[in-house]
Structure 1
Amino acid sequence: MNPETKRQKKQSVLQCFMLALLSACFLIAANTIFHSAQWITGEFSNYQKHKEAFLQSSAVNTTKLEHRERGMSSCLLVMDDNHFLIEWLAYHYHVLPLRHLIVAVDPRSRTSPRSILERYRTRINITLWNDKDYYTANQKEREEAEYWAERKFGSDIPKSLIQHRARQRLFYYHCMQHLKAEGREWTLLTDSDEFLRINYQTVHQVSNPAIDSIVIPPISEEGSVLTFLHHNQRNPAFNISSSGPCLQVPRIRFGTVERDNVHVSAHNTIGINASALQTTRFQTHAKSGNYPLNRISKVLVNLQQVPWEDLVPVESIHLPLRHLCKRRKLHIRTHQQVLVLQHYIGTWQQYSFREDARTGNERSAQSYQKAANVAQETDDAIVPWIQGFVEHQGLAAAQELLKDVGEVPVVSQVPSVNKTTPVKKSLAAKEPPAKPVRWLLTDPPTPSIQLLPLAATNQTKVPLVLAEGVESVEGDDEIAPPDKIDWDKAFP
């Protein structure tokens, strides 16, 4: 074969190879475009399906705002805690700012939050749910949730407690779906005795104003939490964006030991009864490392970053997004996070009023006695919120929004939720604590006023204590029943 023929043959082979390569590239590109179009269509269809299911439901009673303000959202399950709810609403309306709220009322509740929620009808978009809106509507879903709760926490606990655990998880699941369908972003999953704020001590310690572009609004400024998140979400010093859509927030338990409180006197002079507010009255709390008292962390969720397929029935109210919440330690110290939740126990009258399903198991006179008398550290960073709230709302409006705050209603007959387990006595009977406890002036008279010894402020790290046979506390909203906690380690 002469050289010219060889050259032509090589060119033909090369041309065939190039043609085959181009054909393959074309097929790959066409396939990619086809599947991308399918994915986009599927996502849009999925969004429309959920939007219709959650926004057009006639069973949901929603108060619409004439002018929607951009703000944060929250899911709140309540039961006989109006005395906390009044302050919780005012505080988060100002500090977050809370603008979209879904409230579910436990069917065993003897009081209704409706009149309190009505105060915010022109301020917050509020949706009020009952059991049929999320818990009893789907029988299979409910049975699966109760079966899961029984397996997780044991079949020997009362039926009411199993339903409580299942109700929590289904409520968070449906609430997040509803808020995502409405296009909401940051959503707080917490209780009415927990108050979210910027962790100013940690933020100032880890940031360097000389080199970092940071915004740290004071708590007295309206919307301080959202302002902080939006301006600092990608700041490497705070490590917020790396947490994904689930931002774990540590809780700090505040007791009822009172110091000479200049804050109460100061705010009383501006027309606000600060002695009725948890956030201005109490400043003593457990140390960050005291896990038996502080309990497990909660979360702030960015729903815009959550795909629809990841919104499934919640396994853990502390890690509500199974695939997106980082499986890091559930017990984290305050210096590990730029936000913190202040968790208040309240007075004995407030604590014992609610017929909680955990009464006699995780809630008892003993557990109250220990938690109420904690005074390992002091923190008053939250106090200035009330000054900002009054300045922004005006004194008359602030007084109206805070009307009856902290007051516990008188109920003629208090049913027990543990009738099937008589050994677990009701707290509503005001059973005396096993040891003397300091009673506050607002509480019923008692012959005992002795105060337990206070814990030292310079103690070392407290080891984690679990219930017998428990290998992990992941998914539980309590570290252990009071009779399983080593209180000598909690209170060195």
Structure 2
Amino acid sequence: MPPSSVLVPTLLVCSIVCCLYPILLSSPHPTFHRSAISRELDSFVTQKLNLTALYPPEEPLPNPPLSDGHDTFSACLLVMDDNHRLIEWLAYHYHVLPLRYLVVAVDPRSKTTPTSILNRWREQGMYILEWSDRDFWKRKSPLRDIPDDAELQVKRDRHRGRQKYFYRQCLIHLKEENRTWVSLHDSDEYMVYNHAGGDKFREWEDKMKDRHSRSVHSKEVRIEPSKTPPTTAEEGAMIKYIRQEQEAGLEFYQSPCIGIPRLTFSAVETSTSITKGLAPEIASSFDLEQFDTLRWRKHAPRNDFVKNALGKVMIDVSRVDMKNTPMFRSLHRPIQSICPAPWHNDWSSGIRINHYLGSWESYSFRDDARRGFERSREQWEFKSTSSAVQDDDNVTPWLNGFVESQGLPKASSLLHNIGLPKHYRNEKDHRWNLLPDKLAKIMETDVTIANDNKMVAFDAFVREKYRNSSLRR
């Protein structure tokens, strides 16, 4: 007879499994049976994530004196429970751009506050404003709370409308503050020099040379930098590089609104040995797998607007009459009179944005209004593998450069608590499964993939996934 100290926990675990099993059998998502049990047992043996301990509430520290607006970047950023990503995002853009003025709007539904993280960077010389809705919502009628059970379209419209108002007011403010270049990308996106190498890239480049030699594409000229772009290890080099290329007359950099293509990075893991090899000098000082920019190296094909989605922009507000711009209709082309159409050609772009899907825990961490529809477990699985075609390490040198410029003690302090704790599992991730009516509609149709349409490809992925799981049962 085993001792009671062993028997009681064993019986408790067995009880958990027995209670879960009938629920899982009736689940409309059979492929999650085993993983759901695994996650429940994980949550039994690991600590519950204490958000208050991770990100303690703080009052904002006083801002430092304003830095020069000509040789630094500014940014407008919307956040909602993004702290695990915000730490890396701030360090990277502080070092590479250099980012010195940030306006942050925190979603009122957010369960965490970013202030404790932002205070680190105020002490580093970054000027940071934390806005609430009343700071940018200038209409007479206030923003009203939307109930949790509101229709998806209502939630989506609120989210996108709020984004447009925030970005416009943020740009107006930065214009008044005599800033110049402003980035408008998210906390899972990183601006990087667009000069990749490797066999897969060379294959793509040869193909593009042939394609762009034809008359129909003759206007899409391969960008030729006046000088070799720096690496991300070089501190504060991007603004200098942009100024240099403007003076050299490169067309890409002349507009006050530059369109930037995105490149989606999948959730296909990089081996630990490769990850450590990307920053060997500091591999023993940091858990490099906590960095999105080092952990995820495989991306979707360039110029595939289905997998990479539409591009983003950066705007030089010193050259734009912001107060007289019309309301933004699209975040991908906020000012139609000066911003290009959002299908930005990678071939002719000197800068790009790396967009990281991230791990499942990171993807599902916040309570997204699109959960169960546009953002679901199935969407994450589909994007995880369909965006893993080529490798790219352009972004990775930044961490070595950051540690070298800051020193290891300061860099470690600024990067403290980066990523989600390794023990974290989403205890409610069943809520991210496709909504039953959405799944039923997909399963009832049988459209073959005659093109690369995103929804057609995703629907086919879902049908194969659940039909195969039914056959295995």
TM-score by length of 2: 0.68
Which amino acid is the alignment partner of residue 162 of structure 1?
D
1:401 to 2:403 alignment:
no
Give secondary structure in 1 for the equivalent of 2:130: strand
Q: 1:94 deviation in Å?
A: 0.3
1:75 to 2:76 alignment:
yes
C-alpha distance in structure 2 between counterparts of 1:228 and 1:368, whole Å: 35
C-alpha distance in structure 2 between counterparts of 1:262 and 1:305, whole Å: 44
Give secondary structure in 2 for the equivalent of 1:100: strand
> What residue in structure 2 maps to residue 190 of structure 1?
185
Give secondary structure in 1 for the equivalent of 2:409: helix
C-alpha distance in structure 2 between counterparts of 1:413 and 1:485, whole Å: 24
Asked whether the equivalents of residues 90 and 401 of structure 1 are also in contact (C-alpha less than 8 Å), the reply is yes
> What residue in structure 1 maps to residue 104 of structure 2?
103
Which has more helix, going by share of residues?
A: 2
Q: Which runs of 5+ in 1 are unaligned?
A: 1-60, 147-154, 415-425, 435-461, 469-479
Asked whether the equivalents of residues 372 and 434 of structure 2 are also in contact (C-alpha less than 8 Å), the reply is no
Q: 1:487 deviation in Å?
A: 10
C-alpha distance in structure 2 between counterparts of 1:379 and 1:287, whole Å: 11
Question: Residues 168 and 267 from structure 1, CA distance in 2 versus in 1: closer, same or farther, beyond 3 angstroms?
Answer: farther
> What residue in structure 2 maps to residue 175 of structure 1?
170
Q: Which runs of 5+ in 2 are unaligned?
A: 1-59, 206-221, 437-449, 465-473
Asked whether the equivalents of residues 187 and 300 of structure 1 are also in contact (C-alpha less than 8 Å), the reply is yes
C-alpha distance in structure 1 between counterparts of 2:238 and 2:163, whole Å: 25
> What residue in structure 2 maps to residue 131 of structure 1?
133
Identity of paired residues, percent? 34
C-alpha distance in structure 1 between counterparts of 2:244 and 2:354, whole Å: 23
Indicate which of 319, 322, 328 corresponds to 2:333. 319
1:209-253 CA distance string (max 9 Å, x none)? xxx7536222100112111101111434x42244x2111111111
Indicate which of 256, 265, 281 corresponds to 2:267. 256
Give secondary structure in 1 for the equivalent of 2:196: helix
- Which one has more relative contact order, counting CA pairs under 8 Å at least 6 apart? 2
Give secondary structure in 1 for the equivalent of 2:161: helix
Greater radius of gyration (CA): 1
C-alpha distance in structure 2 between counterparts of 1:323 and 1:292, whole Å: 25
1:344 to 2:344 alignment:
no
1:347-398 CA distance string (max 9 Å, x none)? 1011111111111221011110011223210001111000000000110111
Query: What is the RMSD computed on CA atoms of the aligned residues?
Result: 3.5
Question: Residues 370 and 176 from structure 1, CA distance in 2 versus in 1: closer, same or farther, beyond 3 angstroms?
Answer: same
C-alpha distance in structure 2 between counterparts of 1:207 and 1:292, whole Å: 23
1:120 to 2:108 alignment:
no
Which amino acid is the alignment partner of residue 304 of structure 1?
S
Asked whether the equivalents of residues 87 and 402 of structure 1 are also in contact (C-alpha less than 8 Å), the reply is yes
C-alpha distance in structure 1 between counterparts of 2:173 and 2:287, whole Å: 36
Which amino acid is the alignment partner of residue 361 of structure 2?
Q
> What residue in structure 1 maps to residue 65 of structure 2?
66
Which amino acid is the alignment partner of residue 227 of structure 1?
K
C-alpha distance in structure 2 between counterparts of 1:312 and 1:99, whole Å: 27
> What residue in structure 2 maps to residue 332 of structure 1?
344
Which amino acid is the alignment partner of residue 384 of structure 1?
P
Give secondary structure in 2 for the equivalent of 1:301: strand
Asked whether the equivalents of residues 63 and 125 of structure 1 are also in contact (C-alpha less than 8 Å), the reply is no
> What residue in structure 2 maps to residue 300 of structure 1?
314
TM-score by length of 1: 0.66
C-alpha distance in structure 1 between counterparts of 2:364 and 2:344, whole Å: 29
Which amino acid is the alignment partner of residue 356 of structure 1?
D
Q: Superposed, which structure 2 residues align to 1:16-415 within 5 Å?
A: 63-66=62-65, 68-69=67-68, 70-122=71-123, 123-135=125-137, 137-140=138-141, 157-201=152-196, 206=222, 213-214=226-227, 216-236=229-249, 238-242=250-254, 244-260=255-271, 261-265=273-277, 266=280, 268-326=282-340, 328=341, 330-373=342-385, 374-407=387-420
